[in-house]
Amino acid sequence: MAESGEVIFEKFVPMRSAVERAESKTPVTHQESVPKTNRQIIEDAQGLVGKYDLDNGVVGEYEITKTDIHNLVYEISGELKGDRETIIPRIRDIIENGEYVGWSADDGTHPDVAYFTYYSDTIGQKIYLGMRYMKSTKRYKPHAIYSETRFKEDRAPQIVKGTPTM
């Protein structure tokens, strides 16, 4: 308990605004670092856009579009939202080098999807990437990123080990 006239805090230093930080010549400290916006994450991930060969659990071709990146950024599992800056740029690495978990059939809610395949990796915590196999293009496309908890609750019960048989 403070006695009368005793100074508890020596000095109050308010956080600088983004404009003040940009205008000043002093570097931004870790405490002041600002997370990237969804738009910045999407722009930074444009190097991922393209078609690639897949040979990890399943064999074929996969494609990542700007729309896929946009959907992953905005629909990432709630527990992982703070890790988007780290996870999104690693999508290709997860697909090509992550652990193939298995596949599941579409429940009929995605008319152009034959089935889903799943890959896991650890990026700070265990995550799962769901890929959809498109009937029309015969390519795999990123569909969703799940936290371990959400994956075990929503997807794991339907997973079939091995290569898809559709």
Q: What is the pLDDT along the chain (166 residues), one digit of tens a residue?
A: 455 555 454 444 455 555 554 555 545 454 446 788 999 999 999 999 999 999 998 999 999 999 999 999 998 878 888 888 999 999 999 999 999 999 999 888 899 999 999 999 998 889 999 999 999 999 999 999 999 999 999 888 888 998 887 6
| Residue 32 placed within a domain | no
| Residue 41 placed within a domain | yes
Domain hosting residue 118, numbered range: 37-158
Q: How far apart are CA 116 and CA 129, in angstroms?
A: 10
Spell out the alpha helix ranges (H) of the chain: 18-23, 38-44, 66-75, 84-87, 91-97, 148-154
| Residue 31 placed within a domain | no
